[in-house]
Amino acid sequence: MDRQTDRHRRLLLLAAPFLAAAVALTPAFAAHARPAEPGTAPPAAACELVAGASGKPGGDARHQLHLGGFPANQAVRVDGPKTSFRATVDGKGQLDRQGLRHGAYTVTYKADGSRQDVRVTCAAAPADKTGSGKRSVKVSKVEVVVLTPPGTVIDCAEPTTAEFDGMITATGPGRVRFHWTFGTSSEPVSPGSADFASGTTTQALLHVAGVPARPSAATVSVYVTLHLPDQKMSARSGPVTFTCQK
């Protein structure tokens, strides 16, 4: 019995290192072999829809989609309101796409070494019509004030200028688009926009109109009109009359 007991102890001592190694390696192998939960993105992968430049005048404001934290050079598919496109993020795992509509977006890609689709839902701020002609801003008054003194004497053989102030009173916040026309012409000139903050405010828009030469005239009379196309409003100035020097 003593010899058998000693032999059994020796065998246990010889096997102990191998058993210890097996116990130590098992968790590592298990962690390496354990697949990531299907359909979930890495913790860093994210995307966000932020307000960008405006689109066409009078249309919806456009936004920028920013992706970050994705695997480097990863092919992705982006789906959103009236759009779906494929792209590849850069070496830093980032991508920016301009000119998108506001709404819900998702980014889909296949994880490395897997056929499982990974989807990321993009964060988006509430819709903001900044930059759009169709805004909550309400215009209550538009007028044009003549700045050039009446009866100003000029050399009518040379072109000159006349100055006006367009006055827009509106309750914001919002942006109001405008343009001018000269005399009887319907061609828009000097287009622009005025931004209004909350509350009711009035903004003055200086407009310097070019007056062509009229060598044989005794007097020259001109006027301008300020147009707000989104509000379908306009205001015509009084005449500016120049006296031609003799």
Find, among 30, 57, 17, the residue nearest to 179 by Cα. Answer: 57
Q: What integer is the mean pLDDT of 30-43? A: 43
Average pLDDT, the chain: 79
Q: Whose structure tokens read 């538009």? A: 142
Locate 223 and state its tokens. Answer: 């006027």
From its phi and psi, is residue 99 left (phi > 0), alpha (psi between -120 and 50) or beta? Answer: left
User: What's the pLDDT tens digit per position in 156-194?
Assistant: 999 999 999 999 999 988 889 999 999 999 999 999 989
pLDDT at 22: 39
- pLDDT for 126 equals 64
- Structure tokens, 196: 């209004």
Other CB atoms within a 10 A radius of the CB of residue 96 amount to 14
CB-CB contact of 175 with 131 (8 Å): yes
pLDDT at 123: 84
| pLDDT tens for each residue of 46-56 | 898 887 544 44
| pLDDT (0 to 100) of residue 156 | 95
Q: What is the pLDDT of residue 81?
A: 87
**CA 96, CA 76: separation in Å to the nearest integer?**
12
Q: In the numeric block, which tokens belong to residue 4?
A: 């058998």
Report residue 2 CA to chain centroid gap. 87
* 92-119 residue pLDDT tens: 889 998 888 888 999 999 877 777 888 8
**pTM to 2 decimals?**
0.48
Alpha carbon distance 246, 244 (integer Å) = 6
- Predicted confidence at residue 227, as pLDDT, reads 96
Query: Over 60: is that where the pLDDT of 132 sits?
Result: no
Concatenated DSSP letters of 127-142: P--TT-SS-S-EEEEE
